[in-house]
Chain A
């Protein structure tokens, strides 16, 4: 049965933020699946709703003005939207771990690295502090931190940015999760360090058959890391499917434009193909297709109706124009 392979299945997820009477549709009808041992990339510019998607899955919207208003989130056969807060706490950390962009703010500055990792282990498993510390050392070895023994006794501020991110990953790994959600894990790091962290993710995936959702704004990271990718724009899915296919032959005008706007190392370009205009605010979304005000191909229909998703050569696209193109080519 194929279903056994699917770790996470999100269907028609809608998350909105409420300020007074205003509703901001941060995520509007997003569906995706993550298979076992797969890396799914979610790519988009700021305000595209990629982080909100992750927060919705983790049910971490509690402190914000946002809440899930529709759809379903199915994690290994359990409906996450239906589980209690207590169960959710169990799931977080034990089955799903999250790695954030800024490791310094996610680590407690007054506890040593060892104490923090050990604490997380003790919370979820019945082990003694000593055993937990031993596990912590193993974990630091797993994430390739040199001199792990010494590092256990150090405080977060004594570590470099890359090391801190490794510690965060180690904490995420401490209960053998099935899924890691990494939200811009390398954005704050230098490229030479980014490369190492990304390689570490790849290694962990192979070693533990981990599933990873990698959220980033960097198409290069998507290309190097992911098996499948979802391109998001203003809370909607633009294109979703096999990474290689999409990067080689993007169908959605936004994906195309985005790839052309990136300064390439391997090509000579006199001018970059900039996308005119700005990303809309979630409180002031355009009618019809969200991308139409910035789209060169937009027609009257795009201004009025929201395009449905259609599937072509292994990827899903939400665009009328792309649909017509595909129809013509057949």
Chain B
């Protein structure tokens, strides 16, 4: 497997009212070509910020992102353009991510123009049409404005926009969270088809563990800016090791009422000020002991492909 992306000790600190908020704090992982990494966690865990850092939409405080071995920060214009061409993004709010005054087809044509693809408007339109076909939108629909589409169709435009440069990586930030279940399934299927056809790697950011399970090859779980667990999909869902992952998975309402799972209640009160040292999860963790409050657990490989950051998970 060829390595596409490497994230090393990525940190992003914001200052708010004199306090430093560590939105992302030392996140490291790798992504292979054509692979899907699901990035899960609850609101405020820093998963969206991580996605934006990877695409250099915001600059990291520390750490680096390597795309095919080359850093993505501080690129000169031609290199930046080359990077943007290969790494794209799909946004959660498909309405907000489309310019309200730009017709759907023109949105794609504009992107093609920025990257100098196609000789003239006509040729670009033709290229755009092919990508719209890929996401099952018609040429007639390309002439419409974003507000004339339904939520699912808008997300299709978002996919066409990301797809039109033939990227190797698409960061998807909660791409289906705003959609209804029936439409969500359509979009997920489309995304899977496209991945198969074009060999794109996805970083799929979502709070919905069901959706992530469905689309991912590997899953990374974040809690308050830190990566707590990263594993192959089946490993993560069948054998979660970090207490937070366990609690998170147990909290999902089960469709099968007959099956009774063990539920792990974790208290909701967290004092954010205290998390400088130690495990971020220790205030809510039922396993927490003195060491958790004093020492930050490292992300260690418990067995090949499964890394956990917890003092109480032993290496096998």
Chain A residues packing against B (C-beta within 8 Å) = 45-46, 146, 160, 162-163, 190-196, 198-199, 217-221, 223-225, 243-244, 247, 257-259, 261-266, 269, 271-276, 278-279, 294
Contacts and interface: CB of A to CB of B under 8 A. Distances in A.
A258 B165 CA distance: 34
A89 B152 CA distance: 40
Contacts, number: 120
21 contacts: A146-B267, A162-B268, A191-B251, A192-B251, A195-B250, A219-B181, A220-B254, A223-B254, A244-B258, A247-B255, A257-B182, A259-B255, A262-B181, A263-B185, A265-B209, A271-B189, A271-B192, A273-B185, A274-B183, A274-B185, A274-B189
B183 A265 contact: no
A257 to B, nearest CB: 7
Interface in B172-200: 180-186, 188-189, 192
A258 B184 CA distance: 11
Contact of A262 (B152, B210, B251, B263): B210
Nearest to B209: A265
B207 A278 contact: no
B43 interface: yes
A220 B181 CA distance: 12
B140 interface: no
Contact of B180 (A46, A162, A243, A244): A46
A276 B190 CA distance: 12
A199 B214 CA distance: 27
A165 B278 CA distance: 30
Nearest to B188: A272
A265 B210 contact: yes
A217 B210 CA distance: 15
Contacts of B184: 261
B266 interface: yes
Contacts of B268: 160, 162-163, 192-193, 196
B182 A194 contact: no
Interface in B231-268: 237, 247-259, 263, 265-268
A254 to B, nearest CB: 9
Contact of A195 (B255, B257, B265): B265
Contact of A272 (B207, B208, B214): B214
